Amino acid sequence: MKRSFLLGAMGIGLVAALPVWTAVVRAQPGGQVVGEVKLVGAAPPPRVVDVNKDMAVCGKEKRIVEVAVGPGAGLAGAVVSMPDAKGKQPPSKATLDQKGCEFHPEVLLMAPGELDVKNSDGILHNIHSFSSANAPFNMAQPKFRKVISEEISKPEIIRIQCDVHSWMHGWLFVTDHPATVTDAAGAFTLSNLSPGKHKVEVWHPVLGSQSKTVDVRPGETARVTFELAAKKG
């Protein structure tokens, strides 16, 4: 009885001493998508607006460029997003400035969260949003209110304007997916993306939208080019 007990105890010890092998699952590295957005056709000429108030700050006229084109017909100010991919998202706290009686930036990219509206002009502005998923806001901002904060909780493309200065228009592109805005040459990069086939969308406030499917592979770069046609007339 004692002998079998000792062997049993030794057996337990031998089993306990055996190495335990565990599988190590390594996350796949993210991929990236780079590309450019180009304009096909001639860009519409700037719209010239005569300023009739606050000319000391706003100037005597405004040249409104609705389609900004850079070298090689690159389209600036277009938003490129991947609505079904995981990756780096836009900042959840964003700042929109009113300077020189213009919105800076004209197209603001942000994730759902807090928006700070600055008044760098030191004159009366009135920021007015036109939204449906989020509650619209219509806020007077006199010169002593340097910053007004507003919560935007849902993804949406929102048009904004200043009711005091009729030429001031802009856009809030609110998204919870990877997105970026094209630079002055129409180029863009989206990094740290989840591997797989994903839809890439481009949106421009004047020229509309377009989408393509891109295969994102771990640690690799996929390239894509969009061409948006200028509207006739």
- Mean per-residue pLDDT, 18-44: 76
Residue 7's H or E segment, with its range, is helix 2-17
The per-residue pLDDT for 27 is: 60
- Mean per-residue pLDDT, 2-12: 44
Q: Where are the beta strands (DSSP E) in the chain?
A: 31-40, 47-50, 61-64, 79-81, 93-99, 102-104, 107-110, 113-119, 125-130, 138-141, 147-152, 156-162, 169-174, 179-181, 187-193, 196-204, 208-216, 221-229
What is the C-alpha to C-alpha distance for residues 23 and 150, in angstroms, rounded to an integer?
48
User: Do residues 228 and 207 lie in contact, with contact meaning Cβ atoms separated by under 8 Å?
Assistant: yes
User: Do residues 73 and 138 lie in contact, with contact meaning Cβ atoms separated by under 8 Å?
Assistant: no
- Mean per-residue pLDDT, 5-9: 43
The per-residue pLDDT for 175 is: 96
How far the first Cα of the chain sits from its last, in Å, is 103
Q: Identify the structural domains of the chain with CATH numbers, from first to last.
A: 28-229 (2.60.40.420)
Residue 218 phi, psi dihedral angles, 5° rounding: -55, 125
pLDDT digits (tens, 9 = 90+) for 61-111: 999 999 999 989 999 999 999 999 887 788 778 999 999 999 999 999 999
Look at residues 153, 152, 147, 122 and name the one whose alpha carbon lies nearest to residue 56. Answer: 122
- Mean per-residue pLDDT, 38-63: 95
User: Do residues 39 and 2 lie in contact, with contact meaning Cβ atoms separated by under 8 Å?
Assistant: no
Average model confidence (pLDDT) across the chain: 89
pLDDT digits (tens, 9 = 90+) for 143-176: 999 999 999 999 999 999 999 999 999 999 999 9
Residue 8's H or E segment, with its range, is helix 2-17
The per-residue pLDDT for 7 is: 42
The beta-carbon contacts of 7-14 under 8 Å, at least 24 apart in sequence, are none
What is the C-alpha to C-alpha distance for residues 153 and 224, in angstroms, rounded to an integer?
31
